Amino acid sequence: MTKKIIIAIDGYSSTGKSTVARQLAKALGYIYVDTGAMYRAVTLYAMEQGFVGPSHFDQEALENCLSLINIRFEVSKETGFAEVVLNNTNVEKKIRTLEVSRLVSPVAAVSKVRRKLVEQQQLMGKDRGIVMDGRDIGTVVFPNAELKLFMTATAKDRAERRYKELLDRGEDVTYEDVLKNVVNRDHIDSTRKDSPLRKAEDAVMIDNSNLTLVEQFDQILEIAKGAINKA
Ligand code: DC
């Protein structure tokens, strides 16, 4: 039997990490975990409790409630994809709005939030056979992952993709707002003190600005097969 490995995918926002991670997990028969969804779920909880909004963030109130936040994934019967469940409510749609995207980076910068989610992510990977995407997977969550990828693309390309996605979902947004959010999140995610977004030294860099989804997937699947054979 071939050995199961851990595949860590990090990179800037809207680089298509989750698309490729999901495709890869399906092709290899691995579990896929979208860690951004977990940070988004904590952010939604903080919004619903009134702890965070456009002009305020009561970090201490959120820290004091962390033990009340339960996040898990459940596979949707309709799509076959894992969806995020916050305290027994499926919040998959609610966490993808631009409103959550605007507030998630400050929440994800809180060390106590990170500690809680990283612990849960490490448990999810204990049997290997997992593809996990996020910002700190190759650097903090699984520094010993057999394969690490770091995805990037120009901010313009990324904002265009995200803008189309949000329009398709019926959100009323402008391209300028989406671009501003992408640039702003990159800045906060890469300059925060705890676990800033950075490429692990041993990560393979994938710039997909000029790659189609099919080209990108073929390239990454080859890399993954190589890593599995080597393991
Ligand atoms: O992947 P995403 O855009 O859904 O992630 C949302 C935010 O969560 C992102 O701006 C930074 C944060 N995040 C993080 O800090 N660490 C991770 N492992 C995943 C996401």
Instruction: Summarize pLDDT for 23-40 with one digit per residue, the tens.
Output: 999 999 999 999 999 999
> What six digits make up the tokens of 136?
């700190």
Distance 134 CA to ligand 1 centre (A): 6
Distance 229 CA to ligand 1 centre (A): 30
What pLDDT score does 88 carry?
97
* 2 pLDDT tier (thresholds 50, 70, 90): confident
The answer, yes or no, to whether residue 196 has pLDDT greater than 70, is: yes
What pLDDT score does 211 carry?
86
Residue 215 φ then ψ, to 5°: -60, -45
- Percent pLDDT > 70 in the chain is 100
The set of protein residues with a Cβ atom below 6 angstroms from ligand 1 is 13, 35-36, 39-40, 104-105, 108, 134-137, 185, 189
Q: Which of 45, 133, 189, 199 to mutate to test the pocket of ligand 1 (most atoms within 8 A of CB)?
A: 189
Using alpha carbons, select from 3, 8, 44 the residue that is nearest to residue 118. Answer: 8
* 1 pLDDT tier (thresholds 50, 70, 90): low
Per-residue pLDDT tens digits for 7-23: 999 999 889 899 999 99
How far apart (Å, rounded) are the C-alpha atoms in residues 9 and 34? 10
pTM over 0.75: yes
* 226 pLDDT tier (thresholds 50, 70, 90): very high
Distance 18 CA to ligand 1 centre (A): 11
**Which residues sit opposite 149 in a β-bridge?**
9, 204
Mean pLDDT value across residues 186-208: 94
How far apart (Å, rounded) are the C-alpha atoms in residues 14 and 203? 19
The Cβ of residue 56 has, within 10 Å, a number of other Cβ atoms equal to 8
Mean pLDDT value across residues 111-117: 98
Chain mean pLDDT for the chain: 95
**Are 110 and 63 in contact, with CB atoms under 8 Å apart?**
yes
Mean pLDDT value across residues 201-216: 91
Mean pLDDT value across residues 211-227: 93
Distance 108 CA to ligand 1 centre (A): 7
| Residue whose CA lies nearest to ligand 1 atom number 10 | 105
The answer, yes or no, to whether residue 116 has pLDDT greater than 90, is: yes
Distance 99 CA to ligand 1 centre (A): 14
- Percent pLDDT > 90 in the chain is 90
Per-residue pLDDT tens digits for 133-183: 999 999 999 999 999 999 999 999 999 999 999 999 999 999 999 999 999
